Structure 1
Amino acid sequence: MHHLPELITDLALILVTAAITTLIFKKIKQPLVLGYIIAGLLVGPNIKLFPTISEYKNISTWAELGVIILLFSLGLEFSFKKLIKVGGASSITAVFQIVVMLFVGYFAGHLMGWSQMNCFFLGAMLSISSTTIIIRAFEELDVKNKKYASVVFGALIVEDLVAIVLMVLLTTVAVSQQFAGMEMLYSILKLIFFLILWFAGGIYFIPTFLKKSRKLMTDETMLLVALGLCLTMVILADQAGFSPALGAFIMGSILAETTEAEHVEHLIKPIKDLFGAVFFVSVGMMIDPGVLVEYAYPIGILTLVTIFGKAIASTIGALISGQPLKQSVQTGMSLAQIGEFSFIIATLGLSLKVISPFLYPIIVAVSAITTFTTPYLIKYSGSFYGLIERNASPKFLRVIENYGTDTQSIVVLSDWNIFLKSYAINMLLNIVLLIAFGLLSALYIYPFIQEHVINGFNGSVTGIVISFILTVPFLWALTMKQIAPAEYQRLWDNEKKGRSPLILLGVVRLLVGLLSVGFLLSFYLDTALATIISLIVFAVFFFLFSKRLQFLYDRMEKRFLVNFNERDEANDYKAKITPWDAHIIEFKVSPLSPVIGKTLEEMAIREAYGVNIIMIEREYVTLPLPSRTERIYPGDIISVVGSDEQLLKLKEIIACELTADEIETYTLIKNDLVLKNVIVDKDTPLLNRAIKESGIREKRALVVGVERNGERILNPPSTLYFEEGDIVWIAGGSKVIKELF
């Protein structure tokens, strides 16, 4: 008899159990993540009433793959461009909340007598809210169109990135077993270096590759390409000394900038669901009910710390950013939970063997409890604000309102601001690319040349030439490229007595470029000689080929910007045309909507609802600022500007769906649908009556054909009269047809 591998039997047990528990949780309208955790608890080694898995090591490998796919999917939803557009409100809210919870979590663990490493990881686990749970709760409560929801989503984007940074820093602390300042600084600089390098390279090459191969791409090949890119970046991240999950997240965020992002997200969803389920089930396997009982007191404390700490910290952060009190309270109460990133951080701590085993089930328990409380906190956040408003002093409310108004009116767009921002981006990006290509040449290309092609002095000269060819465009951009030329010229003209900062910044660029050349040449020649050669090469080459280098770099820069902006170029204007308390929401026009076929003028949207349609997107065309004669069709995605209340009213007619009762009625009819023929005789109530007068259609039945004197009439007109001897073919429910005849 053939021996079945234990991995297959374990997976069968996991998936069957997970399917049953998630069906139950779906029925009781609870998050499926909790169902997976319960499934893991049931098939894990700590519950003996049910069959348990045999090879946990194999499942652990699958679970690690689940983390990679999960982080890849989060990256697809993340997008660095979204981070840039998040704005100050979300960034300040997220960063303030994370900093507060890092300290609160650390001191909570310290007060309970836990080790320093447990406290570090606890603070990190309590600081990151759950994107999955919040999005699910917003969808169920139908509050995604609320103004504060945009602040929450922006904060979640920032938190995702900070979570990645925290994982790198925690790994550094775990390896060194101490909070070493220089090692932390090195880890941060290393992370920044690789993030810039991977993102710049990814945006430059990957969208171009996808565009050129679009005609060859089927769903199958696109899925293979996406997963291949994901796992390649996982390997690169691992080789660079980072967590594999970081590589998956970065590749997801790079693909999120391409026009294929939604396509990849759609293709990857079944795989994410499968491996994500295995991961969350593996989380449940590590829960020991005995530990939960033993640590019931810490679980209760940490649950309260999470709910109240995150709600208060997020509310204060939103207030500091200038949000109104109501939106701040709603934002704070929405972010008061922990989820998938907490599990991932806990898994990291266990894999590094630096946290105690009891901490994992405690965090899972806290996550489970706060997941249950999240919908209620969101639902009653408005009522809680009303309570605050009724009991707070008018002076306090007036101070908060004035602060928010003053903060939101501050817009700093000075020439110095724009110039310094462009200067910093130019310096940082080109220094990273210079170092990257220089190290590539010195550590890989040069040794290969010395060993297999030319050795000695000639090999060194060859290495210098190759290194210079690879780095010269970025060296030119670092030292010679015009930065924000319009702002620079205004600053130069308007500050004739204060030009020294501009001159100093120009000198700094030249010195950095000179040092970069010396750094590159030092791999091949001694330092003194490298310095002399660098001066000569730097001056002569740039003098002779400056225009060609500018042309080359401009082409590279243009290609990068086209790739970077391609996906949402049509939407760039949205942020500029949203006044005051209004915001933009996209609605997909339902096939049931009464506005289908009407022009914008006939709909009278502005007059009836006080909103404006600023764009209509169809499958093959985008219509920005559509004219009044433009018609609405099923499936159109319309972008509308308005307030919360106005948009909610409009949604009822634009995105209307069948009610639960209608769905049930139609389902019953569909399942009971039959096609029957009836012969019209003198006793039939149809005799000498027109189809439209027979009442057949009103009873949810349909005349699809009439056979008369050997002639067949398909889909007869409603004005046709039934005659004796007609054979009438009727589609409808069997019960309805029985009642009719």
Structure 2
Amino acid sequence: MEHHLPQLIQDLALILIAAAAVTIIFKKIRQPLVLGYIIAGFFVGPYFSFFPNIVDASNVSIWANIGVIFLLFSLGLEFSFKKLIKVGGSASITAFVEIIFIVTLGFFAGQWMGWNYMDSLFLGGMLASSSTTIIIKAFDELGVKHKKYARIVFGVLVVEDIVVILLMVLLSTLAVSQQFNGNELMFAIAKLIFFLITIYLTGIYVLPTIFRLSRKVLDDEMMLIISIGLCFGLVVLATKAGLSAELGAFLMGTILGETLYSEKVEHLIKPMKDLFGAVFFISIGMMIDPAAMLAYKWPILIITLLTLVGKFMLTTFGAVLSGQPFRQSVQVGASMAQIGEFAFIVAALGLSLNVTSDFLFPVAVGVSAITTFTTPYMISYSDHIHRFMEKMTPNSMLRAIDKYSDQFQTIQQESGWKKLIKSYFATILLNTVVIVALVLGGHNLLMPFLEDYLANSITARIITLCVVILASVPFLWAITIQRIQPKVYKELWKGNYFSRGPMVLVDLLRILIGIIIVQFIIYRFYPSLIVSVLGIPLTLLFLYFLSTKIQSLHNLIVKRFLYNFYERDIYAKEKLRLEKDDKEKYKRKIDSLWSTYVAEFEVGQYAEYIGKRLDELAWRENFGINVAYIKRGEKVVYTPNAHDRIFPFDKIGLLGDEEHIRDFENKKFRMEEVGQNFVTQTGLEDFVLMNFLVTRNASFLGKSIKEIELREKTDGLVVGIERDGKRLLNPPSATILLLNDLVWIVGNKKLIHQFMKENNL
């Protein structure tokens, strides 16, 4: 009986087998795997007839989109928002310089090739963004993603993605109306900013708290399901808001990247990222049509050169303008010289709107395929490119660039007014976004629910209005009344009499903004002049008279957010502190070495113990000392066993503390002390007293001294154990070694070191 196998499984089998075969070859010849994936995609694609081809390309395209989502999600996990903030200024300047010039060059290149106005305009949009996924993969394979210039590149990519989203809105508007609509563009920018701030603030406030409350049940399986669910949930939300799926995946990655579970999530999703990412790059290879590329070879060649040279030079120029050193700027430029998935999206947008020609998409695929091949080589040879450019650049210009970079990167002390204005702006913006989010939530979720539940729209509106205003009170207080930067404010107020007027005006402006926001809330639910006249002053009086309690509530909210935001940093500092304490504790243990030393004596020819075995003498049991070695002529017996005997003229090394050796000396014989602190003067420098700490990694944890065969493996003898601040001298061989035991052993130095290395001590 023949069973029908879904075509998707057959296609995936073909894709993965082809990818495995090609990438094994690329591994052997030490070439980037992403190139192997693209070649494998071409082999199984519709334009190569010598191998079996993919039948259902639409399903593969869905898997490829999932791959992009995982790649962007992984990027967000590795490069959190705090890290991106550090390169935000440099990345923004670099990105804007590169985008403005490359879009302009792309437009004029299209006009020069005889393309129409819309084709040229969309060509500029195609060139605006480099491929985040290809660069991530290339950086990962080349091992450079943790270098300083890589952080700049990732910052530029994030800015590019955001700008391209706005550019797509602008292109859509131009395509439909054939004219520039500034209002729609401004609305798109405001919507993007609102989405980013709202989701990020909500995610940081909620997710770490939930993780802390449920940490006892968060095993690997649950963490994987939750993180992927959150990622795809935000992808859906972003697309419904008119933004890109990639932006939603990246944003959720940055949120989870601030939690204590970021490394675990990154580790858990890596296999899925590798799998779906491979499918994505294979799907790019499947779109390579040699016939179409040959038909449009000259436009592809021209645009490829424009991409490689233009984006490289312009990005390098932007990085130099942002204050980066010349070498780092060249590395950033070399990394950005390609186009990727957004080029396909922009080209497909033009086709869907019926405003661009059919050839634009195969041109985009051809340029993307070629520049994908060149990207790993541009990155790996960026130092060679830098050295070449350095030789070609006049020394005076190089010195000017270095001087500019030094001056630009010098931290300038901000004036009091600048600090104050920046703090006011940030406070007003963030709290306004939270209030708007509360208003939208109340209007779109709470009010419809209450209308259905109460069957009375007026009552539902009034209840919703009251709930939203009460929920907004802490944030209204922050906008209107909170003393922002009190120390700076006090210095400005006392320092300059003429500063007081502007400061009062700024405070009045804050109150005015608060009034406008209250008016916005009221009119959203109950557009009545009477309600506004009564509601605004009542809200302001409420804020004023209950200021202390509202301040406490606001401080509690901010404190929780800041703790979640810096949770990883707090945990890292606490971990370092505990490790430092452990090291100090361990150091104190080492510094408090027992007063143990090796004393050597020669056995007389008439001694009473001649010919007796060590177990018969019982020196360890009776005097608390150990026979460390017996030197008989040129032969040395290290840590002799119980059956070894004492003979005339043997030189015996006794190990013990001062009290035990003195007691043994007084009762048995006189001896000459020749060494202290586990160093003898007998030429036995390799025979030492050492210690090791029993850790969780120790394979012998919970085993006895006899079971781990310490004597056989080290030619040694355990002479003491420190446990819980107590000292166990000469422990029996049946003693079990416990966690954090500090074990003292006398024996062969090299063998002891080897034993410690084998057991990760």
1:151 aligned onto 2:126: no
Structure 1 residues 603-682: aligned runs within 5 Å: 623=580
The match for 2:511 is: 510
CA contact under 8 A between 1:167 and 1:345: conserved in structure 2?
A: no
Cα distance 1:280–1:400, how it changes in 2: closer, same or farther (>3 A)? closer
The match for 1:170 is: 168
Cα distance 1:125–1:433, how it changes in 2: closer, same or farther (>3 A)? same
Identify which range, 339-348 or 309-318, moves more after superposition: 339-348
Measure, in 1, the Cα distance between the counterparts of 2:349 and 2:408: 40
Cα distance 1:361–1:270, how it changes in 2: closer, same or farther (>3 A)? farther
Identity of aligned residues (%): 47
The match for 1:102 is: 103
Measure, in 2, the Cα distance between the counterparts of 1:164 and 1:624: 45
Cα distance 1:32–1:386, how it changes in 2: closer, same or farther (>3 A)? closer
Structure 1: which amino acid aligns with 2:165? M
CA contact under 8 A between 2:35 and 2:373: conserved in structure 1?
A: no
Deviations 1:153-189, CA, capped at 9 Å, x for gaps: 2232232243134134314532662442221111111
- 1:356 deviation in Å? 4.8
The match for 1:27 is: 28
Identify which range, 462-471 or 149-158, moves more after superposition: 149-158
The match for 1:10 is: 11
Structure 1: which amino acid aligns with 2:438? F
Identify which range, 322-331 or 434-443, moves more after superposition: 322-331
- 1:228 deviation in Å? 0.9
CA contact under 8 A between 2:260 and 2:567: conserved in structure 1?
A: yes
Structure 2: which amino acid aligns with 1:285? M
Structure 1: which amino acid aligns with 2:507? G
Structure 2: which amino acid aligns with 1:322? G
Measure, in 2, the Cα distance between the counterparts of 1:112 and 1:176: 22
Structure 1: which amino acid aligns with 2:223? M
- 1:361 deviation in Å? 4.0
Deviations 1:591-640, CA, capped at 9 Å, x for gaps: xxxxxxxxxxxxxxxxxxxxxxxxx988x955599999989xxxxxxxxx
Measure, in 2, the Cα distance between the counterparts of 1:60 and 1:234: 17
- 1:151 deviation in Å? 3.1
Deviations 1:417-460, CA, capped at 9 Å, x for gaps: 21111111111111111111112212332232233216254434
Measure, in 1, the Cα distance between the counterparts of 2:304 and 2:148: 26
Cα distance 1:382–1:21, how it changes in 2: closer, same or farther (>3 A)? closer
Cα distance 1:82–1:352, how it changes in 2: closer, same or farther (>3 A)? farther
Deviations 1:66-116, CA, capped at 9 Å, x for gaps: 232222222223322112111543442333223222222232233223454
- 1:258 deviation in Å? 1.3
Question: Partner of 1:567: helix, strand, or coil?
Answer: helix
Measure, in 1, the Cα distance between the counterparts of 2:14 and 2:384: 45
Measure, in 1, the Cα distance between the counterparts of 2:583 and 2:106: 52
Structure 2: which amino acid aligns with 1:159? L
The match for 1:419 is: 420
Cα distance 1:457–1:716, how it changes in 2: closer, same or farther (>3 A)? closer
- 1:213 deviation in Å? 1.4
- 1:544 deviation in Å? 2.8
The match for 1:128 is: 129
Measure, in 1, the Cα distance between the counterparts of 2:537 and 2:484: 25
Question: Partner of 1:49: helix, strand, or coil?
Answer: coil
- 1:229 deviation in Å? 0.6
The match for 2:233 is: 232
Cα distance 1:118–1:209, how it changes in 2: closer, same or farther (>3 A)? farther
CA contact under 8 A between 1:91 and 1:154: conserved in structure 2?
A: no
The match for 1:362 is: 363
Measure, in 2, the Cα distance between the counterparts of 1:33 and 1:117: 33
The match for 1:547 is: 548
Structure 2: which amino acid aligns with 1:55? D
CA contact under 8 A between 1:287 and 1:360: conserved in structure 2?
A: no
Deviations 1:181-218, CA, capped at 9 Å, x for gaps: 22111111111111111111011001111122122111
Cα distance 1:54–1:623, how it changes in 2: closer, same or farther (>3 A)? same
Measure, in 2, the Cα distance between the counterparts of 1:279 and 1:141: 19
Question: Partner of 1:287: helix, strand, or coil?
Answer: coil
Structure 1 residues 45-194: aligned runs within 5 Å: 45-86=46-87, 88-131=89-132, 133-134=134-135, 149-171=147-169, 173-174=171-172, 177=175, 178=178, 179-194=180-195
- Give the TM-score of the pair, scaled to structure 2: 0.71
Deviations 1:211-249, CA, capped at 9 Å, x for gaps: 221221111100000011112112222222223332222
Identify which range, 444-453 or 555-564, moves more after superposition: 444-453
Identify which range, 38-47 or 479-488, moves more after superposition: 38-47
Structure 1 residues 274-289: aligned runs within 5 Å: 274-289=275-290
- 1:370 deviation in Å? 3.4
Structure 2: which amino acid aligns with 1:365? G
- 1:387 deviation in Å? 4.5
Structure 1: which amino acid aligns with 2:419? I
Identify which range, 366-375 or 191-200, moves more after superposition: 366-375
Structure 1: which amino acid aligns with 2:203? G
Task: Choose 1 or 2 for highest CA Rg.
Answer: 2
Measure, in 1, the Cα distance between the counterparts of 2:8 and 2:568: 42
- Give the TM-score of the pair, scaled to structure 1: 0.73
Measure, in 2, the Cα distance between the counterparts of 1:359 and 1:626: 64
Structure 1 residues 460-609: aligned runs within 5 Å: 460-569=461-570
CA contact under 8 A between 1:168 and 1:242: conserved in structure 2?
A: no
Cα distance 1:541–1:718, how it changes in 2: closer, same or farther (>3 A)? closer
CA contact under 8 A between 2:122 and 2:347: conserved in structure 1?
A: yes
Structure 2: which amino acid aligns with 1:151? Y
Structure 1: which amino acid aligns with 2:205? Y
Cα distance 1:470–1:238, how it changes in 2: closer, same or farther (>3 A)? same
Cα distance 1:331–1:228, how it changes in 2: closer, same or farther (>3 A)? closer
CA contact under 8 A between 1:43 and 1:53: conserved in structure 2?
A: yes
Measure, in 1, the Cα distance between the counterparts of 2:581 and 2:139: 28
Structure 1: which amino acid aligns with 2:257? A
**CA RMSD between the two structures:** 3.4
- 1:399 deviation in Å? 3.0
Measure, in 2, the Cα distance between the counterparts of 1:141 and 1:526: 60
Identify which range, 330-339 or 421-430, moves more after superposition: 330-339
Identify which range, 276-285 or 450-459, moves more after superposition: 450-459
Question: Partner of 1:257: helix, strand, or coil?
Answer: coil
How many residues of Structure 1 are paired with residues of Structure 2 in the alignment? 595
Structure 2: segments with no counterpart, 5+ residues: 589-636, 638-708, 717-761
Cα distance 1:57–1:307, how it changes in 2: closer, same or farther (>3 A)? closer
CA contact under 8 A between 1:129 and 1:156: conserved in structure 2?
A: no
Measure, in 2, the Cα distance between the counterparts of 1:502 and 1:368: 57
Measure, in 1, the Cα distance between the counterparts of 2:354 and 2:53: 25
Cα distance 1:534–1:395, how it changes in 2: closer, same or farther (>3 A)? same
Structure 1 residues 303-322: aligned runs within 5 Å: 303-322=304-323
CA contact under 8 A between 2:153 and 2:332: conserved in structure 1?
A: no
CA contact under 8 A between 2:138 and 2:376: conserved in structure 1?
A: yes
CA contact under 8 A between 1:518 and 1:527: conserved in structure 2?
A: no
1:254 aligned onto 2:255: yes
Deviations 1:125-150, CA, capped at 9 Å, x for gaps: 434344555566567666667xxx41
The match for 2:293 is: 292
